[in-house]
C-alpha cells in the first residue's frame, strides 16, 4: 500500500473534463483535451419553468441581476437558480433565488434541467465541467459591456487558438444576444461568429439610470458608508493583459480633489473600483495612491456605484459608456494608451469620445479646470447617436417579455 501511494505521488493522471491533470514528481501539468460531454446530465428532464442565471463578476449584479429583478417584480411563477463560485458574497441575493455552488453536483443538475440559461459571459467554465446546452434549452447571452472601446474576443491581439476554439463552441449554442446599439450589433456579429439572434432591446443593467429616485441613491450611499451630501468621484481603471506596472494607475488623488473643489465646489470623496483581475494589485495600489479614498472593489453592483457617482474616471473600462447615460461628467486617465492600443487594441480613438483625455496628472487637472458642461453634453448626444444607442430604461421588461414567450411556448 505504501509503495502504491509513493508511486501515485510520483506519477498520476486525473481526468478533469476538458483536460488531463498529470502529476510528475509532485509537479502538476494540465494537458488539454477536447471538451467532453457529461453524459449523465442528459438523463435529467428539463423543467419548463426554471431559469439558470450566472454573472462573471461572481455576484448578484450586471444584466442578469436586473432581468431577475423584473421577474420577481412581476411575481412570475418561475424557479430562479443562480450559479456562484465558492466564498461568493451572498447577502444581496433575494430569498426567492436558489443559489448553487459551481462544480457541485447540484450546480450540474440545476444547469442541465433549466429551460432558460441567462449568462453575461461565455460558458467556458461550464464546458470544462462537461455541461453542454441541450437542444431544448434556450441560451440568452447578455454580455457585460456597452459601447466599450477596448477590443474583446477574436478582435484582440492576445487570444490564443485554444481560447478562440472555446469561444466558438460557446457561440454556436447561443440563441439570443441582447444589444443596446448598432455598434454592439456589429461587435456581436464578430466576437460571436454570427451566431445567435441579436435583439436590440437595451442592456437591462442600464435601466437603473432611467428609473431611480433620491431615496434609492441614499440607500446605496448608506451601504457604503457615505454621507448624503458628499460629492462622489469614482476612479475605475480596467485590467491589462499580462503583468503591468502599478505606476500606470498613479492618479494623484489629492490634486484631483482640490481641482474638483475649485471647479465644481462641494465636499468630494474618492471611490476606487479595481477590475476583478486587478485585485491582486490592491495593496500596491493603496501604497502608491496619493490621497485617501474609499475602496469599493468588492461592492457587488457596479451600476449602483455609477448611480451615486457625480464624476467617473477610467482608462478603457466600458463602465464610463454606461455612465454617460446619466449625462454627468466623465474623464479619461490613460497613461499607457499607445502601448495598450498596440497590444489589446481599441475600437475607436479615445479622442473621439466625449470624455477629456489625460495621459498624466497635469493634463488631468487641466481637463477638469477647462471642463465645458454644455460642450460635453452635446458631445454625449452626438456620440450616442453615432453609435446607434437606443437605451430608454425598458430593457429588463423586453427581456422578460421574451422569457415569458419562451416558457409559454409562444412564437417569438
pLDDT in tens, 274-329: 887 777 777 777 666 666 889 999 899 999 999 999 999 999 999 999 999 999 99
User: Do residues 306 and 401 both lie within one domain?
Assistant: no
Phi, psi dihedral angles at 3 (to 5 degrees): -65, -40
Q: CA-to-CA distance for 108 and 294, rounded, in angstroms?
A: 38
User: Do residues 142 and 113 both lie within one domain?
Assistant: yes
Q: What is the pTM of this model?
A: 0.89
Q: What element of type H or E holds 80?
A: strand 79-84
Q: Do residues 142 and 67 touch, judged by C-beta distance below 8 A?
A: yes
User: Do residues 266 and 176 both lie within one domain?
Assistant: no
Q: CA-to-CA distance for 61 and 41, rounded, in angstroms?
A: 28
User: Do residues 315 and 349 both lie within one domain?
Assistant: yes
Of the candidates 300, 307, 262, 231, the residue with the CA atom closest to the CA atom of residue 88: 300
User: Do residues 22 and 7 both lie within one domain?
Assistant: yes
The count of structural domains within the chain is: 3
CATH number at residue 81: 3.40.50.11820
Q: For residue 27, what pLDDT band results from cuts at 50, 70 and 90?
A: low
User: Do residues 135 and 60 both lie within one domain?
Assistant: yes
Which residues lie below 8 Å from residue 131, measured CB to CB, with a gap of 6+?
A: 38, 41, 108, 111, 112, 123
User: Do residues 144 and 268 both lie within one domain?
Assistant: no
User: What pLDDT digit, counting tens, does each position of 38-90 carry?
Assistant: 778 878 999 999 999 999 888 899 999 999 999 999 999 999 999 998 877 78
User: Do residues 396 and 369 both lie within one domain?
Assistant: no
| Average pLDDT of every residue of the chain | 89
Q: CA-to-CA distance for 202 and 197, rounded, in angstroms?
A: 14
pLDDT for res 411: 84
User: Do residues 94 and 16 both lie within one domain?
Assistant: no
User: Do residues 243 and 159 both lie within one domain?
Assistant: no
Domain span at residue 24? 2-32
User: Do residues 265 and 184 both lie within one domain?
Assistant: no
User: Do residues 228 and 377 both lie within one domain?
Assistant: yes
Strands in 190-322 per DSSP E: 197-200, 231-235, 268-272, 294-295, 311-314
Question: How crowded is residue 215: how many other Cβ atoms within 10 Å of its Cβ?
Answer: 7
Amino acid at each position: 500500500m505504501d509503495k502504491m501511494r509513493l508511486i501515485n505521488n510520483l506519477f498520476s493522471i486525473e481526468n478533469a473534463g476538458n483536460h488531463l491533470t498529470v502529476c510528475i514528481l509532485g509537479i502538476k501539468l494540465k494537458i488539454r483535451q477536447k471538451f467532453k460531454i457529461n453524459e449523465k446530465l442528459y438523463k435529467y428532464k428539463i423543467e419548463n419553468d426554471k431559469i439558470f442565471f450566472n454573472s462573471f463578476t461572481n455576484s448578484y449584479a450586471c444584466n442578469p441581476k436586473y432581468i431577475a429583478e423584473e421577474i420577481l417584480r412581476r411575481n412570475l411563477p418561475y424557479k430562479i437558480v443562480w450559479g456562484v463560485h465558492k466564498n461568493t458574497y451572498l447577502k444581496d441575493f433575494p430569498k426567492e433565488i436558489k443559489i448553487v455552488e459551481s462544480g457541485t453536483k447540484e450546480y450540474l443538475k440545476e444547469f442541465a434541467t433549466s429551460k432558460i440559461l441567462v449568462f453575461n459571459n461565455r460558458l467556458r467554465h461550464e464546458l470544462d465541467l462537461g455541461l453542454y446546452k441541450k437542444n431544448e434549452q434556450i441560451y440568452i447571452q447578455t454580455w457585460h459591456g456597452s459601447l466599450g472601446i477596448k477590443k474583446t474576443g477574436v478582435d484582440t491581439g492576445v487570444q490564443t487558438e485554444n481560447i478562440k476554439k472555446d469561444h466558438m463552441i460557446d457561440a454556436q449554442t447561443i440563441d439570443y444576444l441582447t444589444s443596446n446599439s448598432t455598434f454592439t450589433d456589429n461587435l456581436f456579429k464578430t466576437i460571436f461568429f454570427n451566431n445567435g439572434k441579436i435583439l436590440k432591446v437595451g442592456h437591462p443593467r442600464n435601466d437603473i439610470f432611467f428609473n431611480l429616485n433620491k431615496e434609492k441613491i441614499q440607500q446605496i450611499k448608506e451601504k457604503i458608508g457615505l454621507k448624503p451630501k458628499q460629492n462622489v468621484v469614482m476612479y475605475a481603471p480596467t485590467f491589462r493583459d499580462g503583468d503591468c506596472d502599478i505606476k500606470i494607475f498613479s492618479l494623484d488623488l489629492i490634486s484631483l480633489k482640490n481641482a474638483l473643489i475649485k471647479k465644481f465646489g462641494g465636499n468630494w470623496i474618492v471611490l476606487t473600483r479595481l477590475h476583478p483581475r486587478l485585485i491582486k494589485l490592491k495593496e500596491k495600489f493603496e501604497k502608491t495612491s496619493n490621497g485617501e479614498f474609499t475602496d469599493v472593489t468588492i461592492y457587488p453592483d457596479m451600476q449602483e456605484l455609477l448611480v451615486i457617482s457625480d464624476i467617473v474616471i477610467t482608462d478603457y473600462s466600458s463602465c464610463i459608456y454606461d455612465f454617460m447615460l446619466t449625462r454627468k461628467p466623465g474623464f479619461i486617465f490613460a497613461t499607457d494608451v499607445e502601448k495598450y492600443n498596440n497590444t489589446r487594441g481599441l475600437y475607436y480613438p479615445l479622442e473621439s469620445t466625449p470624455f477629456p483625455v489625460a495621459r498624466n496628472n497635469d493634463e488631468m487637472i487641466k481637463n477638469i479646470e477647462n471642463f465645458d458642461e454644455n460642450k460635453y453634453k452635446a458631445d454625449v448626444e452626438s456620440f450616442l447617436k453615432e453609435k446607434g444607442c437606443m437605451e430608454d430604461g425598458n430593457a429588463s421588461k423586453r427581456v422578460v417579455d421574451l422569457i415569458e414567450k419562451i416558457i409559454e411556448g409562444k412564437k417569438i
